[in-house]
Chain A
Amino acid sequence: MSVGLLFDSTRCIGCGACSAACKEANGLPLPIEQHTTAYTWTVVEEVAGVHVRRLCFHCAEPTCASVCPVNALQKTIDGPVVYDASRCIGCRYCIMACPFGVPKYQWDQLVPIVGKCVLCAGRLAKGLPTACAAVCPTGATLFGDRDVLLREARRRLAHSPDTYVDHVYGVTEAGGTSVLMLSGVPFEQLGMKTNVPRQPLPLLTWQVLSKIPSFVTVCGVFLFGIHWITKRRDEVRAYEETHKEPGL
């Protein structure tokens, strides 16, 4: 199975260690900005007295990767949705497609690329956890197998029902994500989108795109048939006109 993160906002103190570690692990320039940008892939925002992390959710079936015309964004089998800047043509379709508004663009660059959390795919390949989870001083961000994290999240909900909203964000959102979140207040109060479709978004386009080959084939045969009949009719008419029996 794939890996993921479990973020528990009730344990986050807003120290910013995750942001600092992210900057360092991914070689991103300082400063750490207030909100996520192409250069700051994760931040902790304080909303209604609650600290909440902003980062890519790493959807199981990511829309960004689905719409990317050059496969610059890809979902890996380990869990991260990674980005290959060398393939990117800067169309920014991923930015429009992401239901969480995660990918950001380097608007200040002459040749911009997209920036977003890649779940420290490079560190994962070396057997290391994500940088944010490695440095979190309260255990608010945990790294591990997604299934194990989900069990832990549900255990917390069952153990402390008064502490948490009875929902693990990321289980069903956009068809499921590698990043899971727990909260003590309703997620919409944290500025999180709660109207995200429960089915994988690429499914919407797939329902149409999957029918196109059959549609094109059937329509092609049908139109060719009409063309053949019309042409044949014209040929018969022309033949009959040139072979009229005299006197008729």
Chain B
Amino acid sequence: MKASIQLWRIVGGAGLGAALAVGMAVANDGTPALRLPPDVTYGSAANSPGPVIFSHTNHVPLRDNRCVACHPQTFSILQPTGTITHEEMNAGKQCGTCHDGTQASGVQDACDHCHHMGGGS
């Protein structure tokens, strides 16, 4: 228990320092700067046309800063998302929750909408 307390002191101290640095960043219009997770690259499966790079920056404003639109119902907010498949998306899960062709572009509409067809980013 004592070791764990020491651990969170170190981790917490570093985290607090970083958070304070980020927290001090305020946009010109007075709104706080968003510290969004970095882009996530989903490696392509054997039959995939290319990797998919998910960007929070592209998605969050569409949802009016509502993190709860996707978390935690569709995607974990604390753990990285594992494999994403078209089978799941076609069943209205994962990206298919919104990308159903009505709320947002469908996952079957155009491969290059999400996949980097050249194989790289």
Query: A-side interface residues toward B, CB under 8 Å?
Result: 3, 8, 10-17, 19-21, 23-25, 30-32, 78, 124-129, 131, 133-140, 142-145, 148-149, 152
B77 adjacent to A24 (CB under 8 Å):
yes
Query: How many Å lie between the Cα of A138 and that of B34 in the bound state?
Result: 5
B23 adjacent to A8 (CB under 8 Å):
yes
Question: Which residues, 8 to 29 on B, are CB-close (under 8 Å) to A?
Answer: 8-13, 15-16, 19-20, 22-24, 26
Query: How many Å lie between the Cα of A138 and that of B23 in the bound state?
Result: 6
Q: List 7 A-B contacts (CB under 8 A).
A: A21-B72, A21-B77, A129-B8, A129-B12, A137-B36, A137-B67, A140-B32
A14 adjacent to B78 (CB under 8 Å):
no
Query: How many Å lie between the Cα of A41 and that of B20 in the bound state?
Result: 25
A126 adjacent to B4 (CB under 8 Å):
yes
A137 adjacent to B8 (CB under 8 Å):
no
A15 adjacent to B7 (CB under 8 Å):
no
Query: How many Å lie between the Cα of A23 and that of B67 in the bound state?
Result: 13
With A25-B78, A138-B33, A140-B32 as known contacts, state yes or no: A19 contacts B7, CB within 8 Å. no
A127 adjacent to B23 (CB under 8 Å):
no
With A11-B32, A24-B77, A128-B8 as known contacts, state yes or no: A139 contacts B23, CB within 8 Å. yes
Q: Nearest residue in B to A19 (C-beta to C-beta)? A: B68
Q: Most B CB atoms within 10 A — which of A31, A126, A127?
A: A127
Q: Nearest residue in A to B6 (C-beta to C-beta)? A: A127
The smallest beta-carbon distance between A14 and chain B, in angstroms, is: 7
The 8 A-B residue pairs with the shortest CB-CB distance in the complex, in nearest-first order:
A139-B23, A127-B7, A144-B16, A138-B32, A16-B68, A17-B67, A20-B71, A11-B32
Question: Which residues, 31 to 55 on B, are CB-close (under 8 Å) to A?
Answer: 31-36
A24 adjacent to B4 (CB under 8 Å):
no
Q: Most A CB atoms within 10 A — which of B8, B33, B34?
A: B8
Query: How many Å lie between the Cα of A124 and that of B33 in the bound state?
Result: 27
B65 adjacent to A139 (CB under 8 Å):
no
A17 adjacent to B77 (CB under 8 Å):
yes
B77 adjacent to A143 (CB under 8 Å):
no
Query: How many Å lie between the Cα of A25 and that of B76 in the bound state?
Result: 10
Contact with A along B70-99 (1 / 0, CB 8 A): 011100111000000000000000000000
Q: Nearest residue in B to A44 (C-beta to C-beta)? A: B68
Specify which chain A residues have a CB less than 8 angstroms from the CB of B22 in the assembled complex. Answer: 138-139
- 16 new A-B contacts, CB < 8 A, other than A17-B77, A138-B34, A145-B9, are A3-B12, A10-B32, A13-B34, A23-B72, A24-B72, A24-B78, A32-B68, A127-B10, A129-B11, A133-B15, A135-B77, A138-B22, A138-B33, A139-B32, A142-B19, A143-B15
The smallest beta-carbon distance between B82 and chain A, in angstroms, is: 15
Q: Nearest residue in B to A12 (C-beta to C-beta)? A: B32
Specify which chain B residues have a CB less than 8 angstroms from the CB of A13 in the assembled complex. Answer: 31-32, 34, 65
The smallest beta-carbon distance between A95 and chain B, in angstroms, is: 27
Query: How many Å lie between the Cα of A142 and that of B26 in the bound state?
Result: 16
Q: Nearest residue in B to A21 (C-beta to C-beta)? A: B77
Query: How many Å lie between the Cα of A159 and that of B32 in the bound state?
Result: 16
With A3-B12, A126-B4, A127-B8 as known contacts, state yes or no: A17 contacts B23, CB within 8 Å. no
